[in-house]
Amino acid sequence: MTEERHPEEQILQEGDPDTTGHTWDGIKEFNNPLPRWWLWTFYLTIIWGVIYTILYPAWPLINSSTAGLLGYSTRGEVAQDIAAFDEMNAPIRAEIEEVELVAINPEDNADLYNYAVQGGEALFMTWCAQCHGSGANGIAQGNGYPNLLDDDWLWGGSMDEIHYTISHGIRNEDDPSSHYSEMTAFEGLLTDEEIGNVVQYVLSISGQDNDAAMASAGEEVFLNNCASCHMDDGTGDRFLGAPNLTDAIWLYPGDAEGIEHTVRYSRFGVMPPWSEEASDAGRLSEAEVRSLAVYVHSLGGGE
């Protein structure tokens, strides 16, 4: 018994010298040679690819790549462009370094102020936004990264004070001139009852809901253990970096749980020094630090 085949299957089986023997839905695939122009173009691209890998950086090595006979480098081009702009901006950078910080303002020198603010913003986005947020609001209140938009400054918010903080940082081991303060961890120094009472007292002076009886007992604990830094009225001491406990601005969580954690275990936020002139660990030139200080001050929180 002979099996009846579909005509297309017979074409596939029998073959055709003018086709590849393949067919789809009745459409045959012709066995024609590629156009010569296409073949020569393809060969030329192969030749060009080989020449390119010889002349330009191409083949990856373990720690680098082949440099190429021409020694071309996109990094070199970028370095040249940066050097050209540095040379062009050298006079205004020198002026930023020489004048007093307070003189860099829109009233006295609009061009200098605009350059400092624009440059400072670029530096802020590169080096500072990771902690302070792209909007300089500290990412979120209570996370340990200061909001630079409000009027609460632990180490002062004047132009000179901001400049000093940027230059030397806070509580770091790289710069001996760094701002430094350290809160005592009262775990083991105060009883659980005393800690609970002083937490309620801090809630009371900051205008939050609290247990009045515990807060009353916590006032004495506060005066004996906390007032030396935070002052008797809890308004803090900028010189020591002791925050004001009477407002609604909190560097760390300001609820009962957060305050208790701070009292028991303390906090120790660190900011690196940024001035290359003030510390070997610094990254920014004096002109850049000054531009950054002007920008931060211009955000509205500076004094």
Encode pLDDT of 243-257 as tens digits.
Answer: 999 999 999 999 999
Q: Say whether pLDDT at 6 is over 80.
A: no
For residue 244, give every residue at least 6 positions away whose Cβ sits within 8 Å of its Cβ, in sequence order, or none.
152, 230, 234, 235, 236
Residue 162 near residue 173, CB atoms below 8 Å: no
> Averaged over 182-209, what is the pLDDT?
97
Q: Is the pTM of this model over 0.85?
A: no
Q: What confidence score (pLDDT) does residue 101 get?
A: 94
Q: What confidence score (pLDDT) does residue 16 get?
A: 56
More confident residue, 208 or 10: 208
Torsion of CA 232, 233, 236, 242, to 10 degrees: 50
> Averaged over 288-293, what is the pLDDT?
97
Phi, psi values for residue 6, rounded to 5°: -70, 145
More confident residue, 78 or 15: 78
Q: What are the structure tokens assigned to 94, written together?
A: 């020198």
Is domain 75-179+270-298 in CATH 3.90.550.10, yes or no? Answer: no
Ordered by start, the domain boundaries in the chain are 75-179+270-298, 192-265
Among 46-60, 65-79, 81-95, 264-278, the least confident range: 65-79
Q: What is the mean pLDDT of the chain?
A: 90
Q: Say whether pLDDT at 191 is over 80.
A: yes
Give the end-to-end CA distance of the chain in Å, rounded to a whole number. Answer: 103
Band of the pLDDT at 12, cuts 50, 70, 90? very low
Q: Give CA–CA dist 195/39, Å, rounded.
A: 85
Q: What confidence score (pLDDT) does residue 4 get?
A: 52
Class (C level, CATH) for 192-265: mainly alpha
Q: Say whether pLDDT at 83 is over 70.
A: yes
More confident residue, 77 or 303: 77
75-179+270-298 against 192-265: fold identical = yes
